[in-house]
Structure 1
Amino acid sequence: MHKPWKPSVTVAAIIERDGRFLMIEEETALGLRLNTPAGHLDPGETPEQGCAREALEESAYEFRPTALLGMYLARSRKNSTGEDQTYLRLAFCGELGAHHPEQPLDTGIVRTLWMTPQEVRASADRHRSPLVLQCIEDYLAGVRHPLSVIYTHPDVLITPA
């Protein structure tokens, strides 16, 4: 029987400050990898809410999405099962808020770093996804879409029982 194709939806924050990008270093089955603050969209939240939540959980920085950079697709194999997986990443840029250094970071996050575009490019072999660099390149190219291009029906905000 054919298994239905269902991409995994993730949200990512592309955060720039003084010419550097906020990156996280995280433990994965393939060793330490670099990523932007990102993670899975949870039930009961809009993509913008999910992005802000993930940024706070992974970096201890508040973040408010103000624009959509784009929607990105990539395939990979799950390390635990070898299963072919497609990821749909919604990447946002926006306003960096307060830092909460006392807040513990998500499980697996080793540290946060502020990296120049050159450092991000030079570390591409350590990126968690090939989408990391593409999102940053799009940000640098000035790509921005209004948040209104994403419509969330109100029933999405009802958390399933």
Structure 2
Amino acid sequence: MLEGQANGLLFSRNLVGQIMGSASLWISCAFLAGKSISGRTLLSSFVGVFTLLFMLAVHYATGALLGFFSSSIFSDNQIWFLASLPAGMIFGLLGYLSNRIPLLSLILALCFLTEPFVIGYIPGVKSLPWTTVLAGQIAGISLICVGILIVYIACKEAIKGGRNG
């Protein structure tokens, strides 16, 4: 069904996959998990790691149950589980510290704003099918919009914090 006869479905699948596979989206979850921890610096790092490990486990298990992934998906993607350890620690801690220094949220904004260009969603690889190129461009624009929103929120929090402190 995905052999060129269902371009709308292929486009939708590409778009969802590109947005849900965004590294910025994943690390922002560790960041927000760390931000939710108050008073415990070390715990925020562990919560960031746990969040990423849990998300990976659910992502791969769900994909395997739905038939998108093979049964070897966990062993084939061990690198992501290992990468979640330092990434979760760093972004969990940054999330925690952003409670005191709101402008640290700009690190997330930088990730969302640059990822579409680093990955190549924008401008897009013209040699790929339109279903992939257009999905990447829309995913890229969506990530940029999230980055702009984070900049707005971080600046608003910094201004609010400056007035109160």
| TM-score bin, normalised by smaller chain | under 0.3
Q: Which has a greater percent of strand?
A: 1
Q: Which has a greater percent of helix?
A: 2
Q: Give the TM-score of the pair, scaled to structure 1.
A: 0.27
Q: Give the TM-score of the pair, scaled to structure 2.
A: 0.26
